[in-house]
Structure 1
């Protein structure tokens, strides 16, 4: 099991640490470390701090994903989803929230705002070639198989 170091940043000692909400949950819920409430009007977005920083081993990434409850109940989701936290990043984890709903939504300190899922990243190298091998699909994309 990979070992991920986590650090609470100064001023966020009262904000809950990321945690899984059930025994078999894939993601750790992240909590807002806003100093003051942030109100997102419909269509508005904001960068919400979590008050934590991570140190992951090489070959691991953290993905920041929306919480389904916020999405279905309020239309609040994450932009740049999934957001990637690279293994060599040591800054504060922040979440870009957007309100796609029809009413304003207020983010309060300590509120669950997103989830963080860890994934392995295999080592890869790009190999430049003149031609790619053929497949049945070819270059078809963007709905080429129908609605």
Structure 2
């Protein structure tokens, strides 16, 4: 699938796959940002995209950043709709007790293109019964 990217900032780094078979490409920060403990920050990538209709871009955490630094994407996965043309930003949260320093050029998240199915919504008076019924959070045990 083809993705058209626009560099909005001279420090923007075009994402690429790190290894053959990777699902996502890495997004990079364009400027340094200090994220205080237990706080969030919007990290700029300096990129805008022309996303094909019928797809979305998902912004996902980098596992190493989450494991080693306790920093992750807050709204994971973040959705970038096909009709959005603004700068791609990444909302990071620092779950640690120390300041996390984002450096310019640092890989901060992964971006994956996925197909989107549009809903045909029908309002009904009742939904069908299942063996699970209305059992929700924790209803199947621990």
Q: With structure 1 as the length reference, what TM-score do the two structures score?
A: 0.92
Structure 1 distance, partners of 2:35, 2:46, is: 20
Equivalent of 2:28, from 15, 28, 31?
Answer: 31
Which 4+ stretches in 1 moved above 2 angstroms? 12-15
Aligned residues: 142
* CA root-mean-square deviation: 1.0
Q: With structure 2 as the length reference, what TM-score do the two structures score?
A: 0.96
Specify the alignment match of 2:57 in structure 1.
62
Instruction: Indicate whether 1:21 and 2:29 are aligned.
Output: no
Equivalent of 1:130, from 104, 125, 131?
Answer: 125
Q: Any stretches of 5+ residues in structure 1 without a counterpart?
A: none
Equivalent of 1:98, from 87, 93, 100?
Answer: 93
Structure 2 distance, partners of 1:91, 1:15, is: 14
* Shift, 1:140, TM fit: 1.0
Structure 1 residues 7-44: Cα deviation after superposition (integer angstroms, max 9, x where no partner):
111xx22332111111100001000012xx21112101
Structure 2 distance, partners of 1:3, 1:99, is: 33
Q: Any stretches of 5+ residues in structure 2 without a counterpart?
A: none
